Structures are given as C-alpha cells and as structure tokens.
Amino acid sequence: MSNTNSNSFNAVIVDGCRIPFLRSGTNYNDMMAYDLGRMAIKGLLARNPVDPKDIDRVIMGTVIQEVKTSNVARESALGAGIPNTVPAFTSTMACISSNQAIASGVDLIRTGQARIILAGGTETMSDIPVRFRKKFRQKVLEARKYKKPTDFLKFFKGLGFKDLLPELPAITEFSTGEVMGESADRMSARFGISRIDQDEYAMRSHHLAAKATEEGLLKEELIPAKLPPKFEVVKQDNGFRDDTSMEKLGKLRPAFIKPHGTVTAGNSSFLTDGASACFIMEEQTALELGLKPKAYLREYNFVSQDPGEELLLGPAYAIPKVLDSMGLNLKDMDVVELHEAFAGQVLSVLAALDSDSFAKENLNRDTKVGTIDMDKLNTLGGSLSLGHPFGATGVRLVTTAANRLIREDGKYALVSACAAGGQGHAIVLERYEG
C-alpha cells in the first residue's frame, strides 16, 4: 500500500480495546461471537467521546461464521447501540481478518470516503457451527418438495449410518489437506528449530503475559466483560500459565507428527474466545473531537505464498516488503508485535529474516533482512499465552503496539502475522507526536 505522503488524508489509531481473551469452553461458553463483538464495541464507545451516528463504517473480522449472524459486524454494531444508518461489513482472512478490517478502514480514510472507522474482530470456538453431512443435507432440501406424508417414507432411502453423523468445520487447509500444526512441524525442521527452542519461547510468552498482567501493563487495552444472566465480571485473560516450566512443557507429547514431531499443545496457541475493537480516524477529525491519536497507520501489505511449503512464513515476506516501502530497516523498529500461532512458526520467521540464503533464494535480496531484537518482541506476551481468537488478534496486535510505542517512548512499531492459506500481513505504525 502506498505511503500517505502523496495523499490528502492521514489515518491514525485513536484507541483500541478488547474484552479478555478466554480459553474456549470457559466463561464465554454460552455466548455467540455476536455477543463478544457487541461487548468490545460498547466498551470502545464508552471510553471515547464519539457520537455513534458519526461513525462512517463498522468493519469486523471473523473466521468461523455463525449462520444466524453471517454479517457479524452489522449485528454486533446494532447490538452495541450504533444507529442502523451506519453501514457495516465483515472481513474473513483467517488469522489476519481484523488486520484486513483495519486496512480497509485505512483505505477508506486515505481516499476521503470516511473520517471515522470502527474496526474490530470477534471469534468464538466454544460454539462452532456443526452441520449434517452433504448427502443428508441434500435429502433435507429435497424434502421441501414433498407433497404428502407418504413422501417422507423415501427420505432415508440411500442414506447410510455415516451420513447421519455430524460434520465439524474442517481444521485442515482445503488446498493441501494438511493441518496447520503439521506445517509448523515441517517448517521448524526446515529452519533447524528444536523442541527445546520452541518450549523455551513458549515459556517466555507465558511468563511475559503473567508479568504484564500482574504489573497492569495490559489494563489500557482490556475492558471488563459482563456475562449474563448474573452479569459476572471477567477482567483478565485466563490462558496464560504463570507456572509454565521447561519440565512441564517437556512432558507433553508431539501433537501432530508422531512420534518425532516438535510441535506440542504447550508450544502452540490454544482455542480462544474473544473480541477487539479500535477507532481509526482521519487525523484532523480526531483532533477536532479533542482526541489525541496514538499513532499513524503507515505502510501495510498483504502477501501470499505456497500453502503447502510456506503456510506460516507470511511475515518473512511481508516484513521486508513493508520496511523497504518506507526506507526503514529492522533496527529502526522500537516495538515489534508478531503473531504467535506456534513457537516454531515465530522462530522460523526470525530465522528466515536472519538468513542470507533465504534472502537470496526467496526474497531476491543480496543480504538478509536482519535480526529482530528479542527485547523489542512481544514483551507483554503473545498469542501463545494471551490467546488467539482468530478474527480478533490483528486489532489486539495493533492496539498493543500503539500503546507500547507511547509507554516505551518509541517512534516506529512493526506488526506482522501469518494466516491460513499461506498468507501474511505487515504494517508499520509511527508514534503520533502532534
């Protein structure tokens, strides 16, 4: 995406928040993705002096859609009290769905089509849509044409026992038939990432998330979730393990490639429920409302690779591309937030960026992209420990990066993420100094 220097309008992030990210099957077990999205939007509205009717668009990411709320952005917006005159649409791009929501909002602002965008994402894995198998579904549709009661006698003709079993949403890549964990295992082997390396990184993520929670460093992005019917209040994430140790992680068996794989449940992100929301505005509009932006949303891009061989390597392609477009390098980045689908995936991306051979063979560069300073990377924990609601993680990453820029007195932040289908995303934020 082109820099904003040649455009009339600058896009800024003013504020972002999220409800606590919770392990699926826990406190949000009885709630729809719509409910989670509604809470995130209401929380954002409650802490910003923005008249809901002045919002130009609501854009939310989601991945596994509930058929009752296929445009969950619209339903969540209405449920949160946003007027029905405000258009809303939902984006689906796997783990970078809310990254796309932000990017779409930025484009609308840069082109003068909008001044205020509410971008977010929502996901529940506690209540995924389970359907009947295709043959049974065809019978149900056929039954709509039955004219008399005796016609129903032929309903079960040709159906076998397996046709009556429920069908869960596929966890495999449609194009390859391979689950993401298998790809993470093979990629870790390709870049020489050991089981110990992965467990150590996972432990780091959990310990940093626990520390950040204890020290209140996540309070700025967290809003409490009030759960009906008794309106129990949930104030913090419940996925991180402050007692995680190498000994405990070492006892876990390979989860995907058995018996010699290195990816386990302990060094993988877990199924998560949650939602996030942020305000993206045209710079002058934010100032007129008396709001100080946190950061400019500068260059961004989306990339795609072979989902068979490089399913999770998106950031290794997106990061150099976005840095080159701004004339910057990794050393210029004061804050780095990288999505953690698997510890092996993160470490493989870091290895690829720090590899001359990868740069020459895959990026058409003479030298490697460089090394990411671990003291700048995911210092408050990441998806491995905080959780990963597929449609909501992107806004969390950008919100966290913007807050860290201010807290840590930095200038530039880099956010990047991989996604199913062999896709990836990267964006650079510049701290607002106005």
- Residues annotated as catalytic are 95, 418
3-state secondary structure the chain: CCCHHHCCCCEEEEEEEECCCEECCCCCCCCCHHHHHHHHHHHHHHCCCCCHHHCCEEEEECCCCCHHHCCHHHHHHHHCCCCCCCCEEEECECECHHHHHHHHHHHHHHCCCCCEEEEEEEECCCCCCCEECHHHHHHHHHHCCCCCHHHHHHCCCCCCHHHHCEECCCCECCCCCCEHHHHHHHHHHHCCCCHHHHHHHHHHHHHHHHHHHHCCCCCCCECCEEECCCCEEECCCCCCCCCCCHHHHHCCCCCCCCCCCCCCCCCECCEEEEEEEEEEEEHHHHHHCCCCCCEEEEEEEEEECCCCCCCCCHHHHHHHHHHHHHCCCHHHCCEEEECCCEHHHHHHHHHHHCCHHHHHHHCCCCCCCCCCCCCCECECECHHHHCECCCCHHHHHHHHHHHHHHHCCCCEEEEEEEECCCEEEEEEEEECCC
Kindly give the residue spans of alpha helices, DSSP state H, lying in 19-133. 33-46, 72-79, 97-110
Encoded amino acid at 300, one letter:
Y
Neighbours of 329 (CB within 10 A): 12
C-alpha 36/C-alpha 66 separation (Å) is 13
Strand, helix or coil at 216?
coil
**Locus of tokens 């070492």:** 250
